[in-house]
Amino acid sequence: MKKSWCLFILVLIVACNNKPKRAIDTPNQHAGKIKLLKFDPYKLNIDFSVTDTGSYINEGPMSGGTYGIVKNNELTDTIDMQYGIKSLGGRVYLFHKLKHETDPVEKETKGLLCLEEDKYIIAMNKMKYPLDSLARSFDDYYSSPEVIKGKIYFWQLEKIDSAGKIRVSAAEFNPIAKTTATYYLFNDYLETDDSGYFPLPYLKNDTVYFDGGKNKLNKFSKDFKRYN
């Protein structure tokens, strides 16, 4: 009797081992079986919520990044999540808007969009204002605005001649007074398509820095007075 049970168990083990293995599902083989994960909206700050997010690609000098669809009551925009939404105080915000590429070469898929840089936007009182309509000689592509202590610091660019020569100044935009203060820095030629040619101004030890490279580091006090 014991021999019969041993033989039966041996046959069962062999049969199980010889059972064809189930192929691993991959997105290409069984796309219909994939369940898309539900995105849970979350609060980005007191006013804005992120209702969706994903990766984007860009056909220009940008390599792409992460986009977010943000909502504030009636306002909905697609923004660059790396730049984020920066508070200017008093529930006033600055963000970098993205838009769809025109006739993109790359194919878009779910969660991967073809986007390009659009306007920098100031949002306040349920309204949106392009920064270039408020700050004098602001360039959406090259000015690299940064929020420091409730004000926007950026590289002000003014065309000098038809050869492409520009006047470069450090600028401070006050969103409350809607005024732009500037200090001339140097002349330059924009022989590049790199939107990061002028890096973001930054704050260190109560000093605002505009780093133009090549020994062009400019320093300003917190009330925007230039250090010699």
Mean pLDDT calculated for residue range 46-71: 85
Is the confidence at residue 110, as pLDDT, over 80?
no
Summarised one tens digit per residue, pLDDT across range 132-156 is 999 999 999 999 999 999 999 999 9
Label the pairing between strands 127-130 and 75-80.
unpaired
- Report which of 148, 123, 125, 145 is spatially closest to residue 136, judged by C-alpha positions: 145
Rounded to 5 degrees, what are φ and ψ at 37?
-70, 135
Res 5: pLDDT: 45
State percent of the chain over pLDDT 70. 77
Res 103: pLDDT: 67
Res 69: pLDDT: 94
- Single pTM value for the model: 0.79
Neighbouring-strand partners of residue 122: 94, 129
**Domain assignments of the chain as residue spans, ordered by start:** 39-130, 134-228
Look at 94 and 90; give whichever has higher pLDDT.
94
Res 120: pLDDT: 98
Mean pLDDT calculated for residue range 63-89: 90
Average pLDDT of the chain to the nearest whole number: 83
Summarised one tens digit per residue, pLDDT across range 36-58 is 557 788 999 999 999 999 988 87
Is the confidence at residue 162, as pLDDT, over 60?
yes
Give the contacts of 152 (CB within 8 A, at least 6 positions apart).
Answer: 88, 94, 131, 135, 145, 146, 172, 173, 175
Please identify which residue in the block is written with the tokens 């009182």: 125
Find out whether 223 and 179 touch, Cβ atoms under 8 Å: no
Summarised one tens digit per residue, pLDDT across range 169-180 is 999 999 999 999
Is the confidence at residue 35, as pLDDT, over 60?
no
Look at 61 and 140; give whichever has higher pLDDT.
140
Res 113: pLDDT: 83
